Amino acid sequence: MSRITHWAPLPMNIDRWDYYIICGDIDTARVLQRIEYWDGVKFASSPQAEAHNEQLQEAGLEATQDASLYFWKSEEELQWELFGSIGEKKLSQILKSLVAKQYVSVRNNPYRGFDRTKQYLLQAEKIQEDLDKLRAIIQHQAGSIRPVQYAIELLLFKSGYTFQELSEDLVRQKLHEMYEIVIQEEQQNSSKKSSLPHFIRTAIKSDLNSEAPFRKIAGSIPQNRGIESAKSRDPFRKIAESNPQNRGIESAKSRDPFRKIAEAIPEITTEITTEITTEITEAREPIAPQSAPASTLSLSQSLSAEEIIRHWEYLRGEAFGPAERAVQLRAAQTLLSLDLPVKISLEWISRLYNEGFDDFWKQKYGELLITHLIQIERSTGQYRVKRWIKRLQERENTKEEKKVIHIQERNEVKEVSGKKENPRRHRRRILETEPDPSFAGEVFS
C-alpha cells in the first residue's frame, strides 16, 4: 500500500512485462495496455446500452446505442493519454503492427460515413492465447522467476528470436548458459566484469544454494560441487584460499553426508551440459500414481517437508521438476512452521488437497500447489491453509452435531402400546389426542 495519496480520477499507467514480451517493445506494449483499458470501459457499459436498446424496441423505436465492444479514439487523443511519450508517426506504425499481430481490429464508423475517426476492438482471445503460452513457458523452467524473465529477454531482444519462435527448450537452454557463466566466474574468481547483471547473478546463486532439488542440479555440474560455505549459506563465499578446490566441502559433508563430493573440479564440457538437460527433462516427465507414497509414516504421524512433497506428488500423479520442487519444499517447510489449529499430517495433506482442488480451482488457477496453501488471502488477511482447515473443521462439527441429535432422538423412543414409537410421531400423536385448552369450561348439549 502506497503512503502517497493520489486523486482517483487522474489516470495511472503501469507497464506490464508480459505485454512487453508478446509485443516486442515497450511502446507497443503501452499502446496495447491503453487499448485494453478502453476495452474494459466499453465492456462494462455494454449491458446498459443493450438494456436501453431493448426499452426503445419495446416502445416501437429504433435502437440508438452501440452495444458492440468497438470504441472510437483518435490518434491525437491516444498520444495525449500516453503523456506524449510516443510520436504521431510511431503511434500510427504501432497501431498497424497491433492489427498485423491480430491483437486489435480497426474499422471506420459504420453509421456515419463522413466520420473518419478510427474505431478499435481488442481481440482478447488472441492476446490471452499468447499470454497463456508465455505463462506455460515460464512455469516449466527451473529456478526463480527473474532469471527466467532475463533469459526470455535475451532470446527476444539479443538473439533475434520472435515470440512465435519462443519455446520451453530455448529458454531452458539459455538458463543453462546463464548458470554456467555464474559457476565459471565464481570458480575462476575473476575480477572481470560479468556479462550478467548483479541482481541476476544473485538470484542464480540463491537458486544454486537452495534445498535438495537445486543441489541435484548443481551436483550434475562438477564445477559447483562443494561450494557451500561452512560459515554461511552463501555458496560463493571465499573459504580456504590456500585450497580453492576444497571451498565449503566440509560444510557440504556436514549438511548432506550422503552427497558425493568431487575432489577435483573438471572443466565444463558439452557432455556435462547434455547430462544436465537430460536429467532435468527426465525429472519433469509425469509419473504414474502409485498405490501409496514412499513413506513409512502413518497418516496421523508427524512428518517432514520432504515427506509432504512426496505425498503431494503422489496426490497429483506427477513429480515436480528440480526447480519447482525446491520452491515447493520451501513452502512445505513454511507450512510446518505455521501456527495451525491442527497438527499437519499426511491425512490432513490429503484432505486439504481434495478440499481445494475442486472444479472452481481447476478452471480458475489450474494446478494446486503447496505454495498456494501458504499464501495470504486478500479477502481474509490470513493464510489460505488456515481458512481451509477451519472450513473442514466446521463441516465436521456440523456432521457431529447432526449425529448427536439423531442419537438423542433415537434414545428418546418410548414404549407405546407395547411398541417402540419414534419420538416425533409420539409427540405429534399426543398433540392430536390432547383436548384443546381453549375449549375448557364449555358445555356441549
Mean pLDDT comparison of 107-116, 119-128, 268-277, 403-412, highest-scoring range:
119-128
In a domain, 238, yes or no: yes
Residues 56, 106 share a domain? yes
Q: Is residue 43 part of a domain?
A: yes
Q: Is the pLDDT of residue 2 over 50?
A: yes
Distance CA 361, CA 373 (A): 13
- CATH number assigned to the domain comprising residue 120: 1.10.10
Q: How far is CA 346 from the centre of its chain?
A: 23
- Specify if 134 maps to a domain: no
| Residue 220 CB partners (closer than 8 Å, separation 6+) | 272, 275, 276, 279
Whether 410 is covered by a domain: the verdict is yes
pLDDT in tens, 118-167: 899 999 999 999 999 999 999 988 778 999 999 999 999 999 999 999 99
What's the structural domain count of the chain? 4
- Mean pLDDT across the stretch 235-251? 39
Q: How far apart are CA 170 and CA 186, in angstroms?
A: 25
pTM for the whole structure:
0.49
Helix (H) or strand (E) holding 420: strand 419-421
Residue 444 located in a structural domain:
no
**DSSP characters for 54-113?**
HHHHHTT----S--SS-EE--HHHHHHHTTT-S-HHHHHHHHHHHHHTTSEEEE--SS-T
> How far is residue 50's CA from residue 59's CA, in Å, rounded to a whole number?
14
Residue at a domain's end among 351, 376, 395: 395
Q: Assess if residue 294 is contained within a domain.
A: no
Is position 297 within any domain? Answer: no
Q: Are residues 182 and 264 in the same domain?
A: yes
Residues 252 and 378 in one domain: no
Helix (H) or strand (E) holding 176: helix 168-188
Domain region containing 411: 397-431
Work out whether the CA dihedral 389, 391, 396, 401 comes out positive or negative.
positive
Question: Are 380 and 424 within one domain?
Answer: no
pLDDT in tens, 390-404: 888 888 888 766 666
Among 74, 97, 128, identify where a domain stops.
Answer: 128
180 lies in the same domain as 242 = yes
pLDDT band at 87 (very low <50, low <70, confident <90, very high): very high
Q: Are residues 387 and 403 in the same domain?
A: no
Report the alpha-carbon distance of residue 294 to residue 292 in Å, rounded: 6
Closest CA to 254 of 220, 235, 279, 229: 229
pLDDT interval class at 256 (50, 70, 90): very low
Residues 223 and 194 in one domain: yes
